[in-house]
Chain A
Amino acid sequence: MSELIGETESLCPECLKVIPAKKIAENDNVYLEKTCPEHGHYKVLIWRGVDDYKRLSSYAPVPSKPEKVAVKKDNIVCPLDCGLCEEHRQHTCLVVLEVTSDCNLKCPICFASANERYHYNPSLDEIRKMYQTALDNVGHPICIQLSGGEPTIRDDLPEIVRMGKSMGIDFIEVNTNGYRFANDIEYLRQVKEAGVDSLYFSFDGLTDDVYMKTCGRNMLDFKLKAIENCREVDMGVTLVTIVSPDINLHQIGDLIKFAKKNIPTVKGIHFQPLSYFGRFPIIPKDENRTVLPDLLKEIQRQTKGELTVDNFIPTSCTNVHCDVKSMSVLMEDGSLFPLTHRAMGPPKDTCCVATKTRQEISDLWRYIDEGMESGGGGEGTWDEFLQRARTNYLTISSMPFQDVWNVETERLRGCCIHTVTPDGRLIPFCLFNINSVHGKTLYRHEIFEKYATKG
């Protein structure tokens, strides 16, 4: 029994040609099926649970198109003419700005294929131009993630941060492996003082065998030291955990426990199911994939129901099948009290959630501060609950990136996380990184190589 539940376009994993694709429901799974006239037929698992897949459509965002787009021409072919164009349906909510392609590690798994082929290290002037692209095309509040490569190999990172803040960027986070922050607390302090709001910190597991697979070396001690240093300088951290059934799927319950123990330094965990782009160890089969429902079921099982599948809802910012998020307050007895539940239904106002969210949350804290002044605090009161919620909360989220196997142009057009390029474009993060089985990208290497120093 198979049922056609949607049609879209995808890419051929061999030649990156745009080819039609069908979404097929079969045995309670959803598959993406596509055929390249030259390279044959592909069928990839994209979801488990057909009803769940369909139900999530009620969380679909009211699209809010970008106000300005860089690519204006006739006969656009999505996704080959990206930058964005007028077909793009969602504005930018996070801009990824890569400040280097170099890294102090060379991990067997790396979406950026860092430390290969060329050295891309944009000058301060080129970085200024990329900040300006964000300022010209994206509405406030503008959130930037400085990424790479490993941003901390640049000694001028504090300067890069100060420049962004002085130009009017509202929020800056640094995507990091934490290695330098573990070894150099003074550098961490400088980065903090320069205005970095939080770290997006890769943290794949609680044992060294996990890091042997993800980083090719023992890293746990450095990871723990980096968190200790962040606590010392009061830097908030989101743990970013790659998830793969072949590596660490069995550890996610323990990772959530670890995060709880490290609140409030740790603000959240972002689970990142392994995507097959950049450097990755294998050509994926369905059993190597963690689709979102797999992850959520494991969270429920491994936390013994402290968090359930239903506590995770789409952010209603990007495509509803791209991400989920939960928020919880850590209670007095150490348990998580989830604030999110699918029983509450989709948010009333899904329009422009992206730009509103951060502002609303910061408004809410202010609001709560005022709320606190009403008095009547003490054990078991709502006042005390609010006080806890302000400092003792944990966000658990996930966004599996699309790779050349499972990519849908429809999802790309709804994307709100965009890489800014030195030639003045904004390109959906997944699309920017997607490569063929031969390592050819549509954007990453083609663009960065032009701006790189060879070597």
Chain B
Amino acid sequence: MEAKFSANAKDVMSKRGLKEADIADVVNTAEASNRKLFKDGVNLAKKRIGEVTMYAVYDNNGEVQTAYSHRMVLGEPVKTTDEPDLSDWTCKHCNERAVIGSANMSYLGVTRTGPAIVCPKCSDVWIEEYLATMTIAAAEGLFEKKKA
């Protein structure tokens, strides 16, 4: 599948400093390995490239709708006592409905938890766009911007 980019996606990616080649790599790797989430004709894939985890949201024709990234390193999902809510996403690899869970995320020596989409079977973890671009970006920004 060849990744294509809508004008909107290009705009968002340029604002977030993401390269088309990297996001195409995310899509290709997910399609080749079947490691992705899907719902209603939309796919969510991720790949760690260098120091960054990149995400692509794309349709079944490979058209990328949005892309985002974070530098935090995702760790293990954290078990909660409550029964987790189901998410809208399904893990393609396990064909299992993913849940809204919580996972460890580490950055520059600090590990704390944050909400994540978790496959209960293979324990793979995904960060949704709102979190990556809001809380996680703010935390990363704290470490980086305050260097000045």
Q: Beyond A337-B110, A339-B142, A385-B110, is A375–B147 a contact (Cβ under 8 Å)?
A: no
In the bound complex, do residue B112 and residue A385 qualify as a contact, i.e. CB atoms below 8 Å apart? Answer: yes
Complex CA distance for A367 and B141, rounded to whole angstroms: 9
B114 within 8 A of A: yes
Q: Beyond A370-B134, A374-B130, A374-B134, is A382–B139 a contact (Cβ under 8 Å)?
A: yes
B interface size (C-beta, 8 A): 24
B146 proximity list for chain A (CB < 8 A): 327, 339-340, 361, 364
A375 proximity list for chain B (CB < 8 A): 115
B108 within 8 A of A: yes
Q: Beyond A371-B135, A374-B131, A385-B139, is A364–B112 a contact (Cβ under 8 Å)?
A: no
B147 proximity list for chain A (CB < 8 A): 313, 339-340, 344, 347
In the bound complex, do residue B148 and residue A383 qualify as a contact, i.e. CB atoms below 8 Å apart? Answer: no
Which of B108, B135, B143, B147 is the most central at the interface, judged by chain A CB atoms within 10 Å of its CB?
Answer: B147
A380 proximity list for chain B (CB < 8 A): 112-113
B108 proximity list for chain A (CB < 8 A): 341, 344
Q: Beyond A341-B108, A364-B138, A374-B134, is A383–B145 a contact (Cβ under 8 Å)?
A: no
Interface size bucket, A side? Answer: 35 or more
**Number of A-B residue pairs having CB atoms within 8 Å of each other in the complex:** 80
Contact with A along B83-125 (1 / 0, CB 8 A): 0000000000000000000100100101011110000000000
In the bound complex, do residue A382 and residue B105 qualify as a contact, i.e. CB atoms below 8 Å apart? Answer: yes
Complex CA distance for A425 and B2, rounded to whole angstroms: 62
In the bound complex, do residue A373 and residue B134 qualify as a contact, i.e. CB atoms below 8 Å apart? Answer: yes
A interface, CB within 8 angstroms of B: 313, 315-317, 327, 329, 337, 339-341, 344, 347, 353, 356-357, 360-361, 364, 367-368, 370-376, 380-386, 389
What are 19 inter-chain pairs, A to B, with CB distance below 8 A? A339-B142, A339-B143, A339-B147, A344-B144, A347-B147, A353-B148, A360-B148, A361-B146, A367-B141, A370-B138, A373-B134, A374-B131, A374-B134, A381-B114, A382-B105, A382-B113, A382-B114, A382-B139, A383-B135
Closest 8 CB pairs of A and B: A371-B138, A376-B115, A371-B134, A371-B135, A327-B146, A368-B138, A374-B134, A382-B114
B interface, CB within 8 angstroms of A: 102, 105, 108, 110, 112-115, 130-131, 134-139, 141-148
